[in-house]
């Protein structure tokens, strides 16, 4: 059984102006669909990556997985427990303890007035667990020194802070870590250190990652399975080899062609056309149809279902 099952997950934000303004300006309510009918499974001890451009709904999905945001419709089941609907508080607590999150900005996510020790053990202390020596042990596990426990966050570089975030995430011995752009703020040599560390920890502790990134090469390096998002919709899902060797969805193809390549010397690509549409008024049918070279009439009227094509799942009318 999958560790995580996401089923028809949808999140709608009300982004209307205040009621009075709406009345005066005669504007209707504005609803923004950040995540639309997304379904996928994450197998235990694997890395599932979500990739997509900004605003495609990656962070919103991540937040719904860890319970920071409630789904509008659809469900997230973790070990068979639906966090939004489960009524047994003990069960919810139990599952919550199995999930941790790491964010992009290691500066914003550490309380500057706390010592590193207190930051790291906080998730355990909050549940009344044993914390003696825990911070020191975890610091060594993430490549820092035990004596760093007494320092404050500002004494560390960006890469070191992300290690502290990782140590804190590990403290409660979670099964699943949602990593939202964990290395996007880091330089490449530091990114390499953090990615290697994350791979090591995964093997050592049998972790499962939801790995969110906009960087295709990082995703290709880390993931066992990749989901490509466009305007809140899952348009393609496959293992990295299948996805990168034979991308099927026209959007995936565009994205892969647009990504700069380390060996792309003097490469001239016809740059992609158009821009991501307004999520408040998405195009009818397939959200990609205004930019798609293959679009036919059906693409402008009917939303394509995600269906199995070879080793992949693809949401496109024109792929077979």
Partner 1 sequence: MTPTLSIRNLTVDIPTRHGTLRPVQDVSYDIAQGEILGVVGESGAGKSMAGNAVIGLLNPPAHIASGEIHLNGTRIDHLQGDDMRRLRGQQIGMVFQDPLTSLNPLLKIGDQLTETMLAHLDISQSEARKRAIAALEEVGIPGAAQRVDSYPHEFSGGMRQRVVIALALCAEPSLIIADEPTTALDVSVQAQIIALLKRLCRDRGTAVMLITHDMGVIAEAADRVAVMYAGQLTELGAVRDVLTAPLHPYTDGLMGSTPLASRGKARLHQIPGAMPRLDALPDGCAFHPRCPRAQADCVRNPGPTLSDGQGRAACFHPLVREDVA
* SS3 letters across 195-231: HHHHHHHHHHHCCEEEEEECCHHHHHHHCCEEEEEEC
Does 257 sit near ligand SF4 (CB under 6 A)?
no
| Dist. CA 111–CA 11, nearest whole Å | 29
CB under 8 Å to 228, separation ≥6 — which residues? Answer: 51, 52, 234, 235, 236, 237, 243, 249, 251, 252, 255
Q: Tell me how far, at minimum, the Cβ of 272 lies from partner 1, in Å.
A: 4
Q: Which residue, among 298, 152, 310, has the nearest Cα to 236 in the 3D structure?
A: 310
Partner that binds at residue 55, options Mg ion, ligand ADP, ligand SF4, none, CB closer than 5 to 8 Å by kind: ligand ADP
For ligand ADP, the binding residues in 23-82 under the rule CB under 6 A are 32, 34, 52, 54-60
For ligand SF4, the binding residues in 14-43 under the rule CB under 6 A are none
Does 183 sit near Mg ion (CB under 5 A)?
no
Partner that binds at residue 157, options Mg ion, partner 1, ligand ADP, none, CB closer than 5 to 8 Å by kind: partner 1
Does 295 sit near ligand SF4 (CB under 6 A)?
yes
Distances (CA, A) of 253 to 43, 258, 288, 307, 315: 26, 9, 12, 17, 13
Q: Tell me how far, at minimum, the Cβ of 277 lies from ligand ADP, in Å.
A: 11
Radius of gyration (C-alpha) of the chain in whole angstroms: 21
Partner that binds at residue 13, options partner 1, ligand ADP, Mg ion, none, CB closer than 5 to 8 Å by kind: ligand ADP
Q: Which residue, among 132, 210, 145, 144, has the nearest Cα to 171 in the 3D structure?
A: 132
Q: Which two tokens stand for residue 320?
A: 């077979």
For ligand SF4, the binding residues in 217-256 under the rule CB under 6 A are 249-250
Exposed / middle / buried, residue 131 (Cβ in 10 Å: 0-12, 13-18, 19+): middle
For Mg ion, the binding residues in 215-244 under the rule CB under 5 A are none
**Binding residue for ligand SF4 (CB under 6 A) from 64, 292, 306, 312?**
292
Q: Tell me how far, at minimum, the Cβ of 179 lies from partner 1, in Å.
A: 15
* Contact range with ligand SF4 by CB under 6 A, out of 33-41, 190-198, 214-222, 283-291: 283-291
Does 193 sit near Mg ion (CB under 5 A)?
no
Task: Report the 10 Å Cβ neighbour count for 75.
Answer: 16
Q: Tell me how far, at minimum, the Cβ of 209 lies from ligand ADP, in Å.
A: 16
130 versus 275: smaller Cβ distance to ligand ADP: 275
Contact 79, 40 (CB under 8 A): no
**Binding residue for ligand SF4 (CB under 6 A) from 83, 299, 306, 312?**
299
Q: Find the helix packing angle between 158-171 and 116-125, rounded to 10°.
A: 20
Partner that binds at residue 286, options Mg ion, ligand SF4, ligand ADP, none, CB closer than 5 to 8 Å by kind: ligand SF4
Does 258 sit near ligand ADP (CB under 6 A)?
no
Partner that binds at residue 318, options partner 1, ligand SF4, ligand ADP, none, CB closer than 5 to 8 Å by kind: ligand SF4
Q: Which two tokens stand for residue 95?
A: 């599952």
- Centroid of chain to Cα 118: 27
Footprint on this chain of ligand SF4 (rule: CB under 6 A): 249-250, 286, 288-289, 292, 294-295, 299, 304, 316-318
Residues that bind Mg ion in the complex, under the rule CB under 5 A = 59
- Residue numbers at the binding site for ligand ADP (CB under 6 A): 13, 15, 32, 34, 52, 54-60, 279
């Amino acid at each position: 059984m999958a560790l995580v099952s996401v089923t028809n997950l949808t999140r709608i934000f009300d982004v209307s102006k205040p009621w009075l303004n709406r009345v005066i300006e005669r504007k209707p309510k504005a609803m923004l669909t950040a995540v639309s009918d997304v379904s996928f499974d994450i197998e235990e001890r694997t890395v599932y990556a979500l990739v997509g451009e900004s605003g495609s709904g990656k962070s919103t999905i991540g937040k719904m997985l860890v319970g920071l945001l409630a789904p509008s419709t659809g469900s997230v089941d973790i070990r068979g427990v639906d966090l939004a609907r489960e009524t047994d508080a003990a069960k919810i607590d139990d599952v919550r303890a199995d999930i941790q999150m790491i964010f992009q900005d290691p500066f914003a996510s550490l309380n500057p007035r706390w010592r590193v020790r207190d930051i790291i053990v906080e998730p355990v202390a909050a549940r009344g667990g044993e914390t003696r020596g825990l911070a020191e042990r975890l610091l060594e596990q993430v490549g820092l020194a035990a004596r760093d426990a007494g320092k404050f966050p500002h004494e560390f570089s960006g890469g070191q802070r992300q290690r502290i975030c990782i140590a804190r995430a590990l403290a409660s011995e979670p099964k699943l870590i949602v990593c939202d752009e964990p290395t996007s703020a880091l330089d490449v040599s530091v990114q390499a250190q953090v990615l290697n560390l994350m791979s090591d920890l995964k093997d050592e502790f049998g972790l499962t990652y939801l790995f969110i990134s906009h960087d295709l090469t990082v995703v290709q390096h880390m993931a066992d399975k990749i989901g490509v998002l466009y305007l809140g919709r899952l348009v393609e899902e496959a293992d990295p080899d299948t996805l990168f060797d034979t991308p099927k969805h026209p959007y995936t193809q565009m994205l892969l062609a647009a990504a700069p390549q380390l060996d792309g010397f003097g490469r001239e690509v016809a740059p992609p056309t158009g821009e991501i549409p307004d999520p408040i008024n998405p195009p009818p049918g397939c959200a990609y149809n205004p930019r798609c070279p293959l679009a036919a009439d059906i693409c402008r009227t009917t939303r394509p279902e995600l269906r199995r094509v070879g080793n992949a799942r693809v949401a496109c009318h024109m792929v077979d």
